[in-house]
Amino acid sequence: MIPVTQIYGRKASNGEINTVTFIAMTIFHILAVVAFFYIDFGAIMAAAILWWVAGSLGIGMAYHRLLTHRGYKTPKWVEYFLTICGTLALEGGPIFWVATHRIHHQHSDHDGDPHTPREGTFWAHMGWIMFGKAMHHDTEILARYTPDLSKDKFHVWLTTWHWIPQVVVGLGLLAYGGIPYVLWGTFFRTTYGLHATWLVNSATHLWGSRRFQTKDDSRNSWWVALLTFGEGWHNNHHAHPVSARHGLAWYEFDMNWIGISTLKALGLAWDVKVAKVRQEMEEEAA
């Protein structure tokens, strides 16, 4: 197996620019700003709905808590639907995302971590995407870290063609509402969502509270949790990575947990794993 230090981390990047990603990110950021010249209430509402679809249903509930950590189980059609939602975040296909995050947990804030702030705050936030080697590696290499997903033809296909749902939704927005809907629903919404996710990589390893003494720098951040539907309770998560619930205390709002609980109530989720520290959290709050 190729050592992770040869794939991930600033030391492995040799300062090279990931040209395609760099250009795409530049275009998305510019057009996100242009959106403010086309204020349209309907377009902004469409962006808000898609932000929830991509960020909560897609990244939080599917890519992270379902595919990466297997914190719960669902029927395959639900898993596939949620995964498609995740591609709308423009954070790569499921195999790439899951492999990267699993390695992050294995080497969190140590050599081999894809995006630790110990190699710089900008690197942890977005530099690793712009200059890292991760995006250059194909499904075959990433499969070594995702043997479960790599056996699934749908996830393999979607990892290669993860941009298709984004294009389809963009064309739908254009047909329905024209340029304002595309600017807000695709470019602003995606850029905003990317930075929200990147804050989990950067901010929650720099600032916040530490309820658990983990071997990394993970922290709980209420404001990052609000921006990411509950992913900001990062110290809780690193202490109990398999738990489908990240907001372990009653006052730690976790929208993604509400979504998973809703699926369970509908009979669409089972074997839901939750850290058994709820009583300790309640005593702490009291």
**C-alpha span between 93 and 279 (Å, rounded):** 37
Least Cα distance to 148 among 237, 211, 242, 66 occurs for 66
Least Cα distance to 122 among 208, 235, 199, 59 occurs for 199
pLDDT for the residue 218: 96
3-state secondary structure of 213: coil
pLDDT for residue 17 is more than 90 = no
pLDDT for the residue 1: 46
3-state secondary structure of 206: coil
Mean pLDDT check: name the lowest of 132-141, 168-177, 252-261.
Answer: 132-141
Q: How many domains does the chain have?
A: 1
10 Å Cβ neighbour count for 122? 13
The whole domain housing 23 covers: 4-285
Per-residue pLDDT reduced to its tens digit, 39-85 = 999 999 999 999 999 999 999 999 999 999 999 999 999 999 999 99
pLDDT for residue 157 is more than 60 = yes
220 φ, ψ to 5°? -90, 130
User: pLDDT confidence of 175, banded at 50, 70, 90?
Assistant: very high
User: pLDDT confidence of 16, banded at 50, 70, 90?
Assistant: confident
3-state secondary structure of 270: strand
Work out the mean pLDDT of the chain and round it to a whole number.
90
User: pLDDT confidence of 142, banded at 50, 70, 90?
Assistant: confident
Residues 6+ apart with CB under 8 A from 167: none
pLDDT for the residue 204: 97
Check residues 6 and 143 and name the one with the higher pLDDT. 143
List beta partners, residue 270.
73
pLDDT cut 70: percent of the chain above it: 88
pLDDT for residue 87 is more than 60 = yes
- Work out whether the CA dihedral 37, 43, 46, 48 comes out positive or negative: positive
Task: Tally the C-alpha atoms within 13 A of residue 50's C-alpha that lie toward its C-beta.
Answer: 30
Residues 6+ apart with CB under 8 A from 233: 220, 221, 225, 246, 247, 248, 252, 254
pLDDT for residue 128 is more than 60 = yes
3-state secondary structure of 124: helix
Number of H helices, E strands in the chain: 16, 0
Per-residue pLDDT reduced to its tens digit, 213-272 = 999 999 999 999 999 999 999 999 999 999 999 999 999 999 999 999 999 999 999 999
Contact 82, 57 (CB under 8 A): yes
**C-alpha span between 16 and 33 (Å, rounded):** 27
pLDDT for residue 280 is more than 60 = no
pLDDT for the residue 4: 53
